[in-house]
Amino acid sequence: KAGVTQTPRYLIKTRGQQVTLSCSPISGHRSVSWYQQTPGQGLQFLFEYFSETQRNKGNFPGRFSGRQFSNSRSEMNVSTLELGDSALYLCASSFFAGDQETQYFGPGTRLLVL
């Protein structure tokens, strides 16, 4: 079974630009979550999607948005990039069976904003 894939793996943008990151979950997983990891702020939750609906959102400005498609693939978009948006963006897909959760992470997309 293929793992969680994230594209692109590395990205360099300049301030003011926008960026779209993609995440393909494990087949059969309907939940996709996004996280931002920086040396200063650590790991922070961005949002979670389940069956194309956003179930939860972290404390990020409206420049950060996301969506999920009918095949469970998810995209996140950051508009008007700022230097502080440089980070590793992680995506995870989850499968729930009763009260058990199985979660797998992708390798991440490393974004550098210049």
Partner 1 sequence: AQTVTQSQPEMSVQEAETVTLSCTYDTSESDYYLFWYKQPPSRQMILVIRQEAYKQQNATENRFSVNFQKAAKSFSLKISDSQLGDAAMYFCAHMNRDDKIIFGKGTRLHILP
Burial class of residue 83 in the structure, from the number of CB atoms within 10 Å of its CB (0-12 exposed, 13-18 middle, 19+ buried): exposed
How many residues contact partner 1, by CB under 8 A? 22
Binding of partner 1 at residue 107 (CB under 8 A)? yes
Distances (CA, A) of 37 to 41, 46, 99: 7, 10, 28
User: Residues 30-49: x/- map of binding to partner 1 (CB under 8 A)?
Assistant: ------------xxxx--x-
Among 67, 73, 103, 110, binds partner 1 (CB under 8 A): 103
Dihedral sign (CA 14, 85, 47, 31): positive
Interaction site with partner 1 (CB under 8 A): 3, 42-45, 48, 55-59, 90, 92, 99, 101-108
